[in-house]
Amino acid sequence: MNSILTRIRPARSDDADAIVNLIHELAVYEKLEQDAKATPESIRLHLFGPRPYAEALIVDVDDAPVGFALFFHNYSTFRGQPGLYLEDLFVKPEFRGRGLGKALLTSLAKIAVERGCGRVEWSVLDWNAPSIAFYKSLGATPMDEWTIMRVSEEALARLASLPLEGTIVR
């Protein structure tokens, strides 16, 4: 009988290529392949460089990465407490149904509790009914009264270039 070794661990710098491959697979699944611009170099810099902006957990099956959860801290002014924001969670399709996604979310919840966080939040595409049902089964509640807003690329550059009239910025 073959035993399959499954392990969840913090990502390391040498996982950058695997993380980018998993991000690409996620982008294809979400029909957002054109938006997947991450490179191994950007992952190494932003997750493992002098100022890490995010962290990741890797799920290995027989020492091969088959999924990941990428997250970072946020802060709730109303709660006066930090939280974790789950940017992406992905398990390769051929490894789904084995509890790996649940294990990644459980691991992330444990990290949040250990760090004194009040909540874990994430976004899910509204057409992704299987993921929504999965998240609800774990106790997640949709925040239907909130709309996600985003400024990026050209709009971000335009906003950043606006003059701060009458404002002193130090």
Closest CA to 120 of 93, 83, 163: 83
Is 135 an active-site residue?
yes
Q: Which of 151, 157, 169, 19 is nearest to 87 (CA)?
A: 19
Cα separation, 136 vs 75, in Å, equals 23
**Which among 21, 12, 147 is positioned nearest to 88, based on CA atoms?**
21
In sequence order, the β-bridge partners of residue 120 are: 84
**Tokens, residue 20:** 């980018």
Catalytic residue, candidates 29, 75, 85, 135 = 135
Residues serving a catalytic function are 135
